[in-house]
Amino acid sequence: MPKNPSSNNVTATVIRSLLQHTHQVSIVSVNHTFSLKADVLDLDIKTGQLTLETQTSDSEINSYIENNLISLDIESTKNLLSYDKETFSLSNISAKVTKLDLSLYKIECQLPESIFIKEKRGTIRIPFILGMHARANIEIYPNELNISGKLRNLSIGGCMLDIPLSDTNAITVGKELSGLTIEFPNGESFHAEGKIKHIRPLGYFGYAALGIQFINLTRTQLELLFRLTNEAEREAAYQTGMSDTMASHSPLFIPGAKEKNTLLKENNERKRKAQRTAMERGVVELAHQLQAGLMYLKTQNVFPAEIFYNCVDTIRYLVEENRKSFLLALSLLREEVEWVRHSIQVSGYLADMLLSRDPHSPYIRETLLGTLLHSLGKPLLVGPQIPTLKSNMTPTQKEILANHRDALLEKIDHIEWNPSEICLTVIEKSEKTNKNDKETDIEDKIFEFVDILLVVKEINKLMHSRNGTPPLPPISAYRKVHVEEKLINKSHLVEYIQIYGLYPIGSLAKYSGGYLAWIKDIDKKGIPNKVKVVKNLKFPEATFNSDLNEKDLPQIGRLEEVVNPSDFGIKAPII
């Protein structure tokens, strides 16, 4: 392939284009469970030298570098709030490490001249960069569970996808896939069997990198794959200016009607998400981190304490920063998988209640950790018998899932992590079982915390749809807990109602004028005094985004009831 007359290093030129936007550089290693954030100090596009700076320890830095080689992920978004990202991964590049201070290191990397990586089999791996993309669909369990992702590189031997962290529950390394379909923008597709080779979190935007090897390829499939990889190589050369002979896009990457329509929908969704505030982004990041922690726990049999404790500390920080904005932001989790939503919402409400009682209690951190972990047994049970937690379950699947606490405790027994007595007690007692037998020497305060947790958990379950059961409005949920749950401490139920009222922040309220509005704040009597109007049922096609305070509320009528957002096709609120 003729080389661009410019003497610039091609890889450095690609990286420079990514660094012009909001970006994050991560140092990654198969020997370490976490990626290491790094800052770019300098990039020489002539010589291809990339200089990074990172803060870590001597022991950690050594686990990221082997034989003076390092691997990087570079993510870039044109907008800080955008979910449309570019990802460029580099493996085994030469690196020299210099210690600058007690925990500060400079890393000088020599970038390869070519962006194409030669694999052991002699084939070339083509990165999908600078706008190149293709979609992928993976059959995890035929006719039961499919996962969608985007292609990040391609070779004759396999590919790498990025998939949402929320879809990693059912993925295990070594699993053979009955079907992997890659669809390019012009509508052409490639279908083959595959085998999962590796999986790891990808950067900081809620995605995972999934490496797949193609298996059992026929001659026809190989011929098609050779043509597709050649076209991808041509497109990458055009995008980077590597060759003077490439004057236009490869036809493979020119969007057809279907792709244009999909891109339009994705753009509209990104615009909606771009309106999120810092508080909302913090809550969404909590969901991503919890899912990343699960991935390590399930696929690598390690307990990522740093991730989970960071989630606990973030919850406390957000409550103390602005509790009402935090309670409203928790409504965003309606769009997350059920176990993530439940874990974070229950932990958030429990933190709010415990901190209002005694912010200096030494037991809060470990109590919140146990609360955050209590639902992790559910995704640990995902497998052939329970392919997904997203669909309604059979009676047999429900029976299996009922043992999720035991599944988590069994997992804890098999990994090198010893939870504190407080954390373990919260996990063990977080279900509605008789707690009269106190098998530990922990003070009664912990069991009081568990009693509060049981109230929060039960109300949260009743107020959200689960396994086809519709959610109850707050007043009905409170009544059901009071009447039916004998093991619930009624004084803590009263305390909960006094704090959050009959119209909790984050609920969707219906007004007699036909308006639907998210409740943003309530007065001392529990009556909404600040809302965001999002819909008028008399004009269902119209959209609203209007904040009203107490004096303006009569304009939309009398408050009637709290309703289920999904009944009206309404997504999570934007603060």
Cα–Cα distance, 227 to 354 (Å, whole number): 61
Please write the tens of the pLDDT for every residue from 523-554: 988 999 999 999 999 888 888 889 999 999 99
Which two three-digit tokens encode residue 136?
A: 């992928």
What's the pLDDT score for residue 385? 87
Which two three-digit tokens encode residue 551?
A: 């004096």
> In the chain, which stretches have pLDDT less than 50?
1-5, 80-83, 434-436, 438, 441
What's the pLDDT score for residue 390? 77
What's the pLDDT score for residue 575? 54
Q: Return the residue matching tokens 């279907």.
A: 258
Report helix, strand or coil for 135.
strand
What's the pLDDT score for residue 84? 64
Residue 529: how many CB atoms within 10 A of its CB? 16
CA 213 and chain centroid, separation: 25
What's the pLDDT score for residue 83? 46
* Of 562, 565, 550, the residue nearest 509 (C-alpha): 562
> Which one-letter amino acid corresponds to residue 144?
E
- Number of residues in the chain: 575
The strand pairing partners of 204, in sequence order, are none
What's the pLDDT score for residue 363? 94
Cα–Cα distance, 473 to 468 (Å, whole number): 16
Distances in Å between the Cα of 32 and the Cα atoms of 15, 29, 41 are 24, 5, 24
* Of 297, 273, 293, 182, the residue nearest 229 (C-alpha): 182
What's the pLDDT score for residue 2? 41
What's the pLDDT score for residue 481? 93
Cα–Cα distance, 483 to 151 (Å, whole number): 52
The strand pairing partners of 135, in sequence order, are 150, 183
Tell me which DSSP letter residue 473 carries.
P
Please write the tens of the pLDDT for every residue from 276-316: 888 988 999 999 999 989 988 888 888 989 899 999 999 99
What's the pLDDT score for residue 58? 79
Q: Which strand (E) or helix (H) includes residue 154?
A: strand 145-154
**DSSP structure string for 26-71:** EEE-TT-SS-EEEEEEEEETTTTEEEEEEE--HHHHHHH-BTTEEE
pTM of the model: 0.85
